[in-house]
Chains A and B, each alone.
Chain A
Amino acid sequence: MLTNRIIIYFILIVAITACGNPKQLSSNEYIHWIEDSDNGLKKEKKLDDYQYKVLYKPADYIVFREIINSGAKAIDEEQVQKRINELANLYQFNFDVVSADGKTSVLQHNVSNQEEHAARINYFVSHAQQDFILVEGIDTMPCVLYHFEQTFGATPFNTISLGFERKNQKAEGDLQLIFTNRLFNTGDIKFAFPKKTINNIPKLKL
């Protein structure tokens, strides 16, 4: 009887500890973990002639990518933590629109004239922001940070960086990113990220 109780307490302690502290990963492991679609932060959907790829980017991930891109040789932990804190009030995503043939740019794929090309650029640069929303539980948030990366036809995809206001450090409900695609007439394109996944992302070990 006593042995059973000890085992139950032990399991409870392990479970509580495991839930409370997401594991820490080294930089390489961390990047792989975030970008591995099996872990639920990277999702994709093909509709009609286009593929839509979404990556949820935690603050640690963005900051580490910034460090890599800056070419810095030494890491100032204090500065890194400060930057992570700055980004902590946003849910951020990369949203890639890829043409299905994998060759032509999204802005040029199946485009018959210059006006159509200009209309696509105009849509993605000036209007698409209002077509993105993030639902967290029962709250709906508009897209407050939007940047469309122009590649001038060099890539068969275009990346859009998206940011939505975050009320708490922990997600309060399941997240659903919705893109009401008015350009390609596909209806709402949705990507779900369960609360459990968002709240259990490993931390970056510097």
Chain B
Amino acid sequence: MRKILPFILTAILSAVVSVLVIIIVFKPAQNKTGYVQLGKVYDEFELSKTLNAQFKQIAGTKKNYIDSLEFQVKAIYTKVTNDKTNKDLQGQFEMAQRHYLYQKEQFEQSVGAMEEEYNDKIWKQLNEYVTQFGKEKGYDYVFGAEGSGTIMYGGETQDITNEVITYVNDKFQGK
């Protein structure tokens, strides 16, 4: 018995090692995945901050102009209601109202176009940097959680939002 014990132990050990090797070799490859909170990445991206500040300033200035036109129309309207027989005043009111409505429409269109243009700039850069991030860090998938239900749950360890924010801002600065 004592003589065959080493052989039995060696056989068992070999079997265990073989099983482990098979498990390691044939183990299905796991994808490296992570997710980012898109809204947070967008808000913290330096280009977003710069363009949003520009947008607010330009849109704010235009809005002030539209508000001043509205104020003028209201002022003339008050005069018209106090002097309903005055045809000149009535004409002034109609002209001011037409001008105000035209300018308001132009304002809304230009603000919409500007917002779209700025968003386009931001996403062009963000998409590129996040792709580079994924490639450099060896990710198979980087998911975007945007609160629309695409990702219902993600563990904290899979949340790479802060790492991505640092990366995209460094890339934007040309580092």
* Interface residues, chain A, with chain B CB atoms under 8 Å away: 43, 45-48, 176-177, 185-192
Contact = CB atoms under 8 A, between A and B. Distances in A.
Given A47-B124, A47-B128, A48-B128, A187 B47 contact: yes
Interface size class of B (residues with CB under 8 A): 10 to 19
Given A187-B47, A187-B51, A48 B173 contact: no
Interface of B: 47, 50-51, 117, 120-122, 124-125, 128, 171-175
Contacts of B174: 43, 45, 176-177, 189-192
A187 B128 contact: no
Nearest to B122: A187
Contacts of A45: 128, 171, 174
16 contacts: A45-B128, A46-B128, A48-B124, A176-B173, A185-B117, A185-B121, A185-B124, A186-B124, A187-B51, A187-B124, A188-B47, A188-B172, A189-B174, A190-B173, A190-B174, A192-B173
B173 A187 contact: no
B121 A186 contact: yes
Contacts of B124: 47-48, 185-187
A187 B125 contact: yes
B128 A190 contact: no
Contacts of A188: 47, 50, 172
